[in-house]
Amino acid sequence: MYARKSLSLAIAAGLMFGIGACSVQEKSDAVAVVADDKDERPLFDEPADAGAVLAEGRRERADGRGNEQEVDVSFLEAPPAPPAPPPPEPPREIKSLEAAKQSAPMYPPTRQAIAVGGAVAASPSVPLQGQPLAGDISTEKYADHEDNAVMRVAEQPVSTFSIDVDTGSYTNVRRMLNQGQMPPRDAVRAEEFINYFDYAYAPPADRKTPFAVHTEVAPAPWNAKRHLMLVGIQGYEIAAAEIPAANIVFLIDTSGSMESADKIGLLKQSFMAMVPKLREQDRISIVVYAGSAGLVLPPTSGADHETISAAFDRLAAGGSTNGAAGIELAYQQAKRAFIKDGVNRVILATDGDFNVGTVDMEALKTMVAEQRRSGVSLTTLGFGQGNYNDELSEQLADIGNGNHAYIDTLNEGHKVLVEEMSSTLFTIAKDVKIQVEFNPAVVSEYRLIGYENRMLRREDFNNDKIDAGEIGAGHDVTAIYEVVLAGSGAEAVDPLRYGANATVKHSGDELAFVKLRYKQPDAEQSTLIERPIKRSQIAREASPRLQFAAAVAAFADRLRGGEHLGDFNLAAIGKLASQARNDDRYGYQREFVELVNRAQALSGEATPVAAVAE
């Protein structure tokens, strides 16, 4: 009897549970229909006039279905909350990770306080996150590249490459280390680590030549039998008031993938920080793209700070990502407001996740290359993580005669968009190439550190049709070669058995001969600069400038596997950087040492070194 009664109660309970589950499923399905309908609505169907963007950045469908009725689900009762799941087990090695987190560096102060909404931003906009756990999926994209090979001077004495002023790799890797994870090998580009820092080179005496050339040679810290040869160039500086009128089109990714605090949230704060610096003669436009592209702000005077800030503040993310349509519309607006003899530039802010429209990398690069010839440059700013497409952002900037930066904090946004805006906007030289010929009587081997995706053929140096990098006002660029002097016994490559030993006719005192080619911004014919580097210039020890640059180069190499450093580990790198006494008024050198400390903790190396003394 009791068994029958229990069976009846069980059946009744099962029926009631099934009915409740169906009701909950109906409610869930109904809500999903509404949510899907909203998420699929494109931000814009056609380019809109100013003010056509709604408060949340959305617009009703243009095909007459914009007034669809949402399903009424108010009659459904909410199901009881399920019991909380048990807490997940802590990941392995959490002890070392927590130690790394506790040593998280304070972000260095920028040259000006950043006031946003009346508050001073003195810390990262996004809280530090732990190392991703097993099962987390990352679709970040980085271009594969191998380190430059060691070259024998007797066989290949000439090295040719384009300059690069990008810095995005360093700040992106900084973000990873601050979140407690080591970066993937291909996320590290040594030249972008090196060029993140200011080495205080003296500028040119006048503006007839847009930049000054500096060289230095000293023993390598990781192998005293080898030497580092530094070639640095420093562009002349220009006051903000001297920058010609600027026509800037902000092209902003507002797709669903940008919906997070470290993407659209950080982007809006960063751009709004630069608005007070805009001038009456500047023309500012804002184009956004999601499933389709739209015009948020037509060309507007830079003095109208309130209107520009309001346009940034209205931005919201949602939908798929048709980046190609956005790029096309942005260039249209740039041409519409084109300023002759002024600055004309599109600034693209995105996570690079283009997933509708033209998504082929080569097709996008071709589009940007065609637009470059019209006199409009392209700068790219990367945001976010998880799906960040570093490869696309970096290469589009290279093709578009611009630069690429990655914004990981509000302080970095201020540095790039406020402090360095003169460098970003005003180009003082274009198609800048460097060619170094080594003297085989003095140098037996060399290796260029970084610039793997900027290498040129020897004949490209004299060909003015070949595109190369640009340098902005106040920019400095540093290249470092590791060289082996003839007879030192430090060679890594055996000589050819049947190679001819050419007799050197010129001076045996010359270590190398450096040549640079550049064009004035409005010129089509290049100008040549030449300078010998003599063996007599070799210093017994590196200057603080070269010491720190060497530490940065070594850090990049170690993060890529440390194939060229021997036993020179992260502890040695941190010690070298901390001993280099340079002007560190903004704290970037101190922060670098702290990043090396974090990498040590995460990699399991010895106890981190102390940060550089104040």
Q: pLDDT of 72-115, one tens digit each?
A: 334 334 445 545 544 544 433 333 333 443 444 334 444 433 33
pLDDT recorded at residue 351:
87
Report the alpha-carbon distance of residue 294 to residue 490 in Å, rounded. 60
Tokens standing for residue 387: 């799906």
In this structure, the strands spanning 158-162 and 427-438 are antiparallel
Tokens 């594969």 — which residue?
144
Indicate if 247 and 388 belong to the same structural domain: yes
Whether 71 is in a domain gets the answer: no
- Amino acid, single-letter form, for residue 551: A
For the chain, give the mean pLDDT.
80
In this structure, are residues 38 and 316 in contact, taking their beta carbons and an 8 Å threshold? Answer: no
Indicate if 215 and 302 belong to the same structural domain: no
Report the alpha-carbon distance of residue 220 to residue 287 in Å, rounded. 49
Residue of 592, 585, 593, 594 whose CA lies nearest to 614: 585
The burial of 182, by beta-carbon neighbours within 10 Å (0-12 exposed, 13-18 middle, 19 or more buried), is given as middle
Whole-model pTM: value is: 0.77
Q: How many CA atoms are closer than 13 Å to the CA of 399, on its beta-carbon side?
A: 17
Report the alpha-carbon distance of residue 523 to residue 606 in Å, rounded. 54
Query: DSSP code of 418?
Result: I
Indicate if 331 and 380 belong to the same structural domain: yes
What number is the average pLDDT over the span 431-435? 98
* DSSP states along 232-280: EEEEPP--GGGSPPEEEEEEEE-SGGG-SIIIIIHHHHHHHHHGGG--T
Q: Tell me, what CATH number does 421's domain have?
A: 3.40.50.410
Determine if residue 384 is left, alpha or beta; phi over 0 gives left, psi from -120 to 50 gives alpha, anything else beta.
left
What is the extent of the structural domain holding 366?
A: 240-425
Whether 225 is in a domain gets the answer: yes
Residue of 476, 375, 428, 420 whose CA lies nearest to 163: 476
According to the per-residue pLDDT averaged within each range, which of 44-48, 70-74, 496-500 is highest?
496-500
Whether 485 is in a domain gets the answer: yes
pLDDT digits (tens, 9 = 90+) for 253-309: 998 889 889 999 999 999 999 999 999 999 999 999 886 678 999 999 999 999 999
Q: Within the chain, how many helices (H) and strands (E) appear?
A: 14, 18
Report the alpha-carbon distance of residue 290 to residue 285 in Å, rounded. 17
Cα first-last separation, the chain: 85
In this structure, are residues 329 and 298 in contact, taking their beta carbons and an 8 Å threshold? Answer: no
Indicate if 286 and 434 belong to the same structural domain: no
pLDDT digits (tens, 9 = 90+) for 163-205: 999 999 999 999 999 999 999 999 999 999 999 999 999 999 8
pLDDT digits (tens, 9 = 90+) for 214-240: 999 999 999 999 999 999 999 999 988
Indicate if 342 and 444 belong to the same structural domain: no
Indicate if 420 and 336 belong to the same structural domain: yes
Query: DSSP code of 415?
Result: I
Report the alpha-carbon distance of residue 81 to residue 332 in Å, rounded. 52
Indicate if 271 and 211 belong to the same structural domain: no
Q: Of 391, 425, 459, at which residue does a domain stop?
A: 425
Indicate if 362 and 401 belong to the same structural domain: yes
Please say whether the dihedral angle defined by the alpha carbons of residues 427, 197, 468 and 353, taken in this order, is positive or negative. Answer: negative
Report the alpha-carbon distance of residue 417 to residue 411 in Å, rounded. 10
Whether 248 is in a domain gets the answer: yes
**195-232 per-residue burial string, b: 16 or more CB within 10 A, e: under 16:** bbbbbebebbeeeeebbbbbbbbbbbbbbeebbbbbbb
Indicate if 302 and 175 belong to the same structural domain: no
Indicate if 351 and 390 belong to the same structural domain: yes
Indicate if 249 and 330 belong to the same structural domain: yes
Whether 80 is in a domain gets the answer: no
In this structure, are residues 20 and 267 in contact, taking their beta carbons and an 8 Å threshold? Answer: no
Q: Of 379, 398, 425, at which residue does a domain stop?
A: 425
Whether 396 is in a domain gets the answer: yes
Whether 336 is in a domain gets the answer: yes
Answer yes or no: is pLDDT of 132 > 70.
Answer: no
Q: Tell me, what CATH number does 159's domain have?
A: 2.60.40.1230
Tokens 């040259």 — which residue?
111
Q: How many domains would you assign to the chain? A: 2
In this structure, are residues 220 and 554 in contact, taking their beta carbons and an 8 Å threshold? Answer: no
Lowest mean pLDDT among 10-14, 474-478, 482-486, 496-500: 10-14
Whether 308 is in a domain gets the answer: yes
Tokens 């980046």 — which residue?
323
Indicate if 398 and 543 belong to the same structural domain: no
More confident residue, 496 or 334: 334
**571-603 per-residue burial string, b: 16 or more CB within 10 A, e: under 16:** bbbbbbbbebebebebbebbbbbbbbbbbbbbe
Count other C-beta atoms under 10 Å from residue 467's C-beta: 17
Q: Of 425, 454, 478, at which residue does a domain stop?
A: 425
Report the alpha-carbon distance of residue 435 to residue 481 in Å, rounded. 12
In this structure, the strands spanning 158-162 and 211-220 are unpaired
DSSP three-state, residue 378 = strand
